[in-house]
Structure 1
Amino acid sequence: MECVSCATITDKYKCSKCLAPYCSVNCYKEHKTQPQCTEIAAVKQAPQPAKNVTEEEPTIYAPFSTEDTVPLDKLQQLKNSEPLRQLLHNPHLRALLQQIDVAYNANLAMTAAMQEPLFVEFANACLQVVEPMTDAERAELALCS
């Protein structure tokens, strides 16, 4: 993506108001004074009609189901998980998650993150909510430990 101010290729930062990409503080300061940024921000803040859940998907492509797709009700349960809340207080974990979110190669970013014990703990906490272990799996894990 090109910086909205200087046209340098970047994926470092995005404007919090209009999501336009920028590469530095100077470019951001210049951009935020532009009328396009404030106009887009005003449109985003205007009340909008209620949307169904699939329209709120934050991706640019329509959601699709695969065998690995997590049901919406399970995803909703993640926000109520106290172990996840505690882990997300850690700024290092939040930084890792942000890096994965903006990574050009998500698979490579995930592979790197899985080398971090904190991220593995986070992934396991997510799995406990989304796909809890059965008693048989717990017994097998106990035998391996």
Structure 2
Amino acid sequence: MKSKLCAVCNNSAPKYKCPTCKVEYCSAKCFKDHKSMCIPPVQNTSQIPANSMSVSKESEEDDEEEEQHRLKEVDLQKLAKSDRVQQMLAYPEMRALMETVCSNSNPVQVVHALRQRPDFEQLVQAMLEATTE
């Protein structure tokens, strides 16, 4: 069984969790590195009014539209083979940002916020280029 690694340096087993976003890290240095890019999680659903959680025709249409934009297996293979994407993901900070996206209950909102960062926007553009070739 593969043991977990620090989300920041990807070298050691994590001993701590960020109190803000719950990303796991191994040392004070990694926490300092992570702290500058940490994004707080969105509010949990218990804080959202019940009437806003009902499924409407609009949300069903949104789900269908989202499905159209979801990556297919062939797109995922293109990402895995992209040298540029792989080079960018070699940086622990970039992997930590992706972990933040994946572990958040509202990843779309996190991606929108992270796209303000030039380094993350470069990754997004590299991924788009790789999947549209």
TM-score (norm 2): 0.48
Instruction: Please identify which structure carries the higher helix content.
Output: 2
Task: Kindly name which structure, 1 or 2, has the bigger radius of gyration based on alpha carbons.
Answer: 1
Task: Name the structure, 1 or 2, with higher relative contact order (CA <8 Å, separation 6+).
Answer: 2
- What's the TM-score, normalizing by structure 1? 0.44
